[in-house]
Structures are given as C-alpha cells and as structure tokens.
Amino acid sequence: MRDYQSQCRVLTEEDIDALEIGSGILGTGGGGNPYIGKLRARQAIREGHELKILPIEALEDDARIVALGGIGAPLVSFERLKEGREGVRCLRALEERLGFKADAIGCEEIGGQNSMEPLITAAFAGLPVVDGDGMGRAFPEMQMTTYAIYGHNSTPSVMCDPHGNAVCFEHAITEKWHETMARACVIAQGGASVLASAPMSGAFFKAHAIPHSYTQAIGLGQAVLDARQAHEDPIKAICEREGGKHVFSGKINDLKRHFERGFNVGVASIEGLDDCRGSVGEITIQNEFLIFRRDGEMQACVPDLVVVLDLDSGLPITTEVLRYGQRVAVLALPCHELLRTQQALDVIGPAAFGFPELVYRPLAETA
Amino acid sequence: MRDYQSQCRVLTEEDIDALEIGSGILGTGGGGNPYIGKLRARQAIREGHELKILPIEALEDDARIVALGGIGAPLVSFERLKEGREGVRCLRALEERLGFKADAIGCEEIGGQNSMEPLITAAFAGLPVVDGDGMGRAFPEMQMTTYAIYGHNSTPSVMCDPHGNAVCFEHAITEKWHETMARACVIAQGGASVLASAPMSGAFFKAHAIPHSYTQAIGLGQAVLDARQAHEDPIKAICEREGGKHVFSGKINDLKRHFERGFNVGVASIEGLDDCRGSVGEITIQNEFLIFRRDGEMQACVPDLVVVLDLDSGLPITTEVLRYGQRVAVLALPCHELLRTQQALDVIGPAAFGFPELVYRPLAETA
C-alpha cells in the first residue's frame, strides 16, 4: 500500500455539510439522497474515521484505484437505509478476487450520496479517495462514466447488498451488459446495493476522470452556505461559480413519477412564477433530471446539468423528494468537456436516453 | 484429478435416445427440451467426446463434485439454442475461483435437457458424471435440490450465458437468495444460461443425492422403446416400472401459458376421453407440471411426478410444446423418498409453490 497520507486533505464535518449541498446540486436530482449520505459520513467522522481526499495529481501512474458507488433507485435508498459496510465488503471481495490491494478509492459519480459512499468506505479501509470522479454529476447507468466511455473495462466487479449477499460480475462482454446484469441483480437484492469496479491505473484515472470533483462540490456547497449567511442570492452564486443559467422559476403543478426497471422515472410539470408567469416548464426524469423544456421547447438536456433548487433557500431537491406544490428554480449548468466529445455523447447524449430527436447544443458554447 | 475412468460406463447413442425419453418422463414437462439435449449430446459423441457415467458408490468421500445445469425457462432454451460451451466456461471459472479442479460433475436435475447438460460439459472437460442427481425429476427453482435441502451451500457458483458474460454468485445468505439473484440475472442474460454450483464432497453426495438417476432414466426410456417395438403399451410399461398410476386420458381443450418472472407458468385443461369421458382434468404449470386435478379434486401434486404423455405414442410432452387439441395421458409417479421428508416438503411441497391449502399425500403410500 502506498503512503499517500501526507498528501491528503482530511475532511471536516463542515466540509461534509458543504459537500451535501454541492453534491446535491451536481447530482441533478439523483445519485442518492445526499442528506442521508451526510449523516452516514458524519457518523463515520465522529467514530474516529478519517475521510480523506487525495489530489489527483499525486497519483502515481501504476497506482491501483478501485471506484465504487451505490447502485439502485434513489427512492429505495431513501426509504431503506444502507447496512453501512456494503462498500467495504465489495472492496475486500474484489481485492481477494484480484490478489492485490487497492491503493486508493475512486468515485463513480460525485452527485448525491454517491459522493459520500467512497469516502465512507475508504475511511473504513484506511484509504484516501482520489479528488475526481467518473461523471462530474450523476447519471442513472453504470456505462455512463468517463471511465467506461474512454475504455475502462469495469469487470470483474463486486456488488454487495445490505443482507450479506455478494455477487461478482466476472466478465461482461460490454459495459452495457455489465449494467444490464447488475441492474437486474440489484433489483433482486432489494434495490439499493453497492458496487466496486475493476481497478484503474493512476495513469488512466488522471487522463479520463473528471478532475477535482470533490474540491468543486465542496466549494460549490460552501458558496451556497456563504451566500445564505450573507443574505445574498444562493442561486446567483451557483450560476456565477459554475457558468450556468437560471432558466425557470415556478411551482410544481403535476408530477408523474414511478418505479420502473429499477429506476425512478417520470415527468414534472412546473407552472411559471415571477418572470416565467404564463409559461409551463417540464422536466423528464430517469433517476436524474434529464431534460428541461419550456413551453414545449428544449432548453437544456443531458449531458449538461438540469438542476432543481428550492426557490427560496437555493438548496437542491432530489427526484425522490420532489412533490406537488414545491416552488422551484430550474438551473442549467454546463457539463465538463470530457462529457461533450462525440464518444461521450454516444453514451450520455439525449439519444442514449431514448430521445434521438433532440439535438444537444452544449450550454458552454451558447452561454 | 482422480482416475475414475475404469469404473465408468461410456454412453452410446442408443443410451442417449433412451435418456431423451426417460429424462423427458422424469422431467414432468420441464428441465429443458430433451430432444434438443439429445441432439447436442449426439453431436458431442460424434465429435469423439466420451459421455461417461460413474457409479455413485465409486465416489471417494473426499472427491469434489461440481453440479451444474441449465437455468432459465424451457420456452427460451427451446427457441434459442445454447452456444454450447457455457457449462465448460462455468466449470473453468469456478475452478479458478476455488483454486482446485473438480473430480467429477454432478447433475442438478435429471429431468429434461438438464440430464444432458452435465454429460456434455463433463465430456468436454474429460470428466465423468456421477450417476445421481439433486431432484430425481425436474423442479423450477435452484433451492429445490436435495443438495440444498440437506444442507449444501451452493455458493460460490458461476453462471455463464451464450454471449460470453460470466457472473459469480460469491455468497448468498440462503439458497432462496441464490435462486432470487440468479433468476434476475438469467432473465437479464436472455433467459437461458448455465450455472455451476460450489463443489460437494463425495461423502455428502452419496448421502444426499438421488442415487442412480441416470441408470433409472436410461432404463425407463429403454422400457418405452422396447414396449413400442413389441407393440405393447408403453404407458403401462412406465407405470409398472415406476410404481405409478395412469390417472387421466383426454384432449387438451384449453391452455393458458405465459412467461412470468422468468418462468413458463399456466394452466392446461383436459377434456376426458375413453373411461374419463365426462370428466375434466386440470394441470397447474410452473416450468414443470405441478398439480393434477380431476373435476376440481387434487389427484397428484409435487413432489410426486405429474407426467403428460402423448396418448398414442407414450412419449413425454414438455410444457413448452403442449398445445390445444393434443390427446394426452396423465400419469402420477411416486417421487424418491428423499423428497418426502418434512425437511424436503418445506421446500418442494405444494405450500412452497403457493398452494398452502393442498395436503400432500404421498403416492407411494396410497398406491
């Protein structure tokens, strides 16, 4: 095991408070409820565990990074809490299968509770988490990481549930097959498990991970907290920091949301308020907020971030706690450039989500 | 690897012809289409592979037996042929996971194509198949083997599909959990895969397997062939040999059959013919024929064998080829005594199939 300790930043409870908000914003409604993640992370800190971030630049090329995260539907993980050691069981079983130990833990998706899962598992295992992730946001399926998009073969992987069951996906012929089999299995396991993927090299991770995600998410959350403390507009603070736009304000007046194929899917309709009065907003959901339309016209879509915030507090709202009558702000934030290549769009563009008629226009270029 | 070669019986194409019929009868409609199994076994023989049966008594106590079989719905495996080497890939991956080689192959269920699967895999691997199995018939779920009933923990196991995907069920907290996860995964894989279970010792196998299943099935099939050749009644020959009863004759006049949760399920209604004229028979199906009722009254049920034969030829009919208008004979055959203990009935009695109101009365005691 490498000694990365001296180069790590140890997170405080205040950092975790900020990460809850930042990962909630970047989660675009998904990635698991960040509040529950925060409570788990805080408990780990109070039990004496160190939650540590390692700068991505510190990684040696031949380091071995095991990325992990929760898999399932946000709705399930919100209602049924994790047993808590699923990630550690995954890591240990995978290490045993591989015959070597991981040097550091990676994050599959920075969005939502999945920002916390690697920190907690790594802390239990005495390892750091690399400051980066595979999405720069949250996406509903496993093949949607930059790791997979840029060529990492994520099997063998190990998935563990709260009951004590463990499954190793020995070999999947494609990343999509890995997703298909793991999705079926996680539904059988009750809908909320943890999965640790085949290790990546430090060189691969530095080239293909979204860098500095933890720093970004903590900074973003801190900006919201600072704005609230200073009685300034947190929504403005987010847009300025992320180069995004506040595209809609309104009240949720219709919500179709159901559990299908292991996902939360649905549509939220928003009646315009303030300067959006007379307009209707609509958000398409698959675990995350995928597409925002105003009066039928697409304003933002994957891979850019469609974010829903409480209109007054500026705090993020996840898909499973969305409800009729909420007054919300819809933001569109540009995604990282690694998500905008043609190679990436084939996997995470609107067509990959079943909307081939939509043409993705990068927000970063139109802002 | 032990040298069991000298003690083995090498099966001929004639033996396979008999096994097709015998395993079809014992399959009670399920276990995968035996005709397709026969074609695959015959091809293996013609390619120069030896399909070998090892007497169960020859097993040393510390021998390691890996049992395997097809998993999925008979309907799928009938329409989509196996790639052919799924079983070998399972065996090799499991051996690698375990760190040792199997001494012999075991059969999970003697019924249907699942009698052929171990023979073919073992032949490719140069191993014998022990003359015994875990059901003495076919059942739809994995926890329904005598192996599982009498205490074998069947994980780690490996499941391979025709595409090249491989999944290792590292640990299941119960046999039922193993079934639940594997069933979800096999549906994701397309509905017809092969699964090899954690090895059993020779001592365990000798104590808890249904002994001499292959000899029984080949002998039973041969008895049908002999009766047909001698223009005698094959149905009578089956009943005499197995101690069973010919409980109904009639024409299928209604058939509800659908694919649900990875199984063929349904109900077949039979209009009485000959001395059953005026009566109505009804068979409940879940991959296998589970229950036979005459005029609403239960005549036979699991774990005893409900067998459907072509009324004229005496050849077995599997659930996926059952159709309107077929003239059939329904037989009830007593199951092996290992399936009749209270421990077994908890897993394979009518209540376990969702019929708690039915009281199982062993055919062996009422005959």
Q: What pLDDT score does B44 carry?
A: 96
Contacts of residue B173 in chain A, CB cutoff 8 Å? 163-165
Q: Quick one: tokens of A271?
A: 């009646």
Q: What pLDDT score does B365 carry?
A: 85
Of B93, B164, B184, the CB nearest to A185: B184
Q: What pLDDT score does B191 carry?
A: 86
Reported as a single tens digit per residue, the pLDDT across B31-48 is 888 898 999 999 999 999
Rounded percentage of chain A residues whose pLDDT exceeds 70: 98
CA B353 to each of CA A161, B257, B270, B283, B291: distance values in angstroms, whole numbers, following the listed order:
26, 17, 22, 14, 10
Q: Check: CB of residue A195 under 8 Å from CB of residue A182.
A: yes
**3-state DSSP assignment of residue A191:** coil
- Mean of the per-residue pLDDT values of chain B: 94
Q: What pLDDT score does A261 carry?
A: 75
Q: Do A166 and B170 touch (CB under 8 A)?
A: yes
CA distance linking residue A236 with residue B198, whole number of Å? 59
Identify the CATH number of the domain defined by range A5-213. Answer: 3.40.1610.10
Q: How many CB atoms lie within 10 A of CB B319?
A: 31
Q: Do A165 and B173 touch (CB under 8 A)?
A: yes
When pLDDT is cut at 50, 70 and 90, the band that residue B172 belongs to is very high
Contacts of residue B164 in chain A, CB cutoff 8 Å? 171, 173
When pLDDT is cut at 50, 70 and 90, the band that residue A1 belongs to is low
For residues A196-204, average pLDDT: 98
For residues A252-266, average pLDDT: 85
A99 CB within 8 Å of a chain B CB: no
Q: Do A167 and B164 touch (CB under 8 A)?
A: no
Residue extent(s) of CATH 3.40.1610.10 domains in chain B: 5-213
Identify the CATH number of the domain defined by range A234-366. Answer: 2.40.390
CA distance linking residue A218 with residue A223, whole number of Å? 9
**Structure-model confidence comparison of residues B237 and A320, the more confident one:** B237
Contacts of residue A189 in chain B, CB cutoff 8 Å? 181
A183 CB within 8 Å of a chain B CB: yes
Q: What pLDDT score does B289 carry?
A: 95
Reported as a single tens digit per residue, the pLDDT across A277-322 is 999 999 999 889 999 999 999 999 999 999 999 998 999 999 888 9
Query: ipTM of this predicted complex?
Result: 0.86
**3-state DSSP assignment of residue A106:** strand
Rounded percentage of chain B residues whose pLDDT exceeds 70: 98
Reported as a single tens digit per residue, the pLDDT across A118-136 is 999 999 999 999 999 999 9
- Mean of the per-residue pLDDT values of chain A: 94
Residue extent(s) of CATH 2.40.390 domains in chain A: 234-366
pLDDT reading at A76 higher than 70:
no
Of B165, B169, B187, the CB nearest to A167: B169
A98 CB within 8 Å of a chain B CB: no
Q: What pLDDT score does B195 carry?
A: 97
Reported as a single tens digit per residue, the pLDDT across B246-266 is 999 999 999 998 878 777 789
For residues B160-169, average pLDDT: 97
Q: What pLDDT score does A77 carry?
A: 67
